[in-house]
Structure 1
Amino acid sequence: MGAFVASALLILTACSDTGPHAPASKNSSMTPEQSHENVMSIFRAVKSVVGEEGWEAGTQSSWLGCSSNGEDGAQFTLTAIRKHPLPAAADDVTRRVAKALKTDVGLDGVPVQHDDTLRPPRTVVSYPNGYNGGTAADGFGVEFQSGTDLASLLVWGHCVPGNVPKLGTPLNPRPTDLP
């Protein structure tokens, strides 16, 4: 399954330059716990529109180091893919996701765009700079895509000061520690 998720992530991001990178700055107003919760709140907002089921097999998350200017930083990332029928047409689902990102998470100005170069064609919302527009200066970015029987979410959390949480701790459990 890991190979499937890695392949899907590669396919979904092949046209995008919004991948994680060493950001130019860190968001010093957030802690690692707040950055993690922000990513999870985005995932909850998407699931509230698309549905709770079907994400389990295609969801992976991890912490990355995002050091800059000689200071340690941590960034939480999440990739989620759901290959099940959508509750409505892809355009409708994606518009609802954009609205949920605004009302539930506070991400305003998320444009709904289309990518007809992908098969199946996809309706996309991406924050902060639109589809293929890159991430914010602190590495934060969100991309949601929907198509025929497909929904995917990529979230690069805010890079925050500090170290990546130790593996095996509640904020960074080992794969065997998961429920």
Structure 2
Amino acid sequence: MEIEKTNLEGCLVLKPKVFQDKRGYFFESFNQRTFNDVTGLNINFIQDNESFSTKGVLRGLHFQTGDKAQAKLVRVIKGEILDIVVDIRPGSKTYGKYFAIELTESNKKQLFVPRGFAHGYIVLSDTAIFAYKCDNYYDKGSEGGIIFNDPDLNIDWKLDEADFIVSEKDLVLPKLQDLNI
């Protein structure tokens, strides 16, 4: 497994070693020991989640706060997405900055999202299956979010906003500057 640092401290891109031949491919999508060794982290993932979405579905930007915050390891099983993380750690030198990466079924890249980041994605392909591991359980009382079109973030979501499919809940999220964390 190869590790690539991003412009946001602690946020990492993981590239698994993929074995391909005429039968198809095989790769180890997660191994706790390897993850700890290559990242230098000791994260205990306790929950796996999966979602299916169609083109234009935008989920995010979400986070959990306090002792319910979550680190995530995200990847795409089928399709293509644009994955976005925003640093919301008060005092961080990259506070309010974001990192974007295309995660696809063919590149098999994974993104490690540390605690203290908002996370979201948009589906670029006709459909996508998105999977992620969390190091803490979901807690509704600790959830928060940032509106996807916050002008201060100026995120290029790669699709026309008129084609976005966004939940009612995500349409009323506050701007980053209005967060209370």
Same-fold call, TM > 0.5?
A: no
**TM-score with structure 1 setting the length:** 0.27
Greater helix content: 1
Which protein has the bigger strand share?
A: 2
TM score, norm. by length of structure 2: 0.27
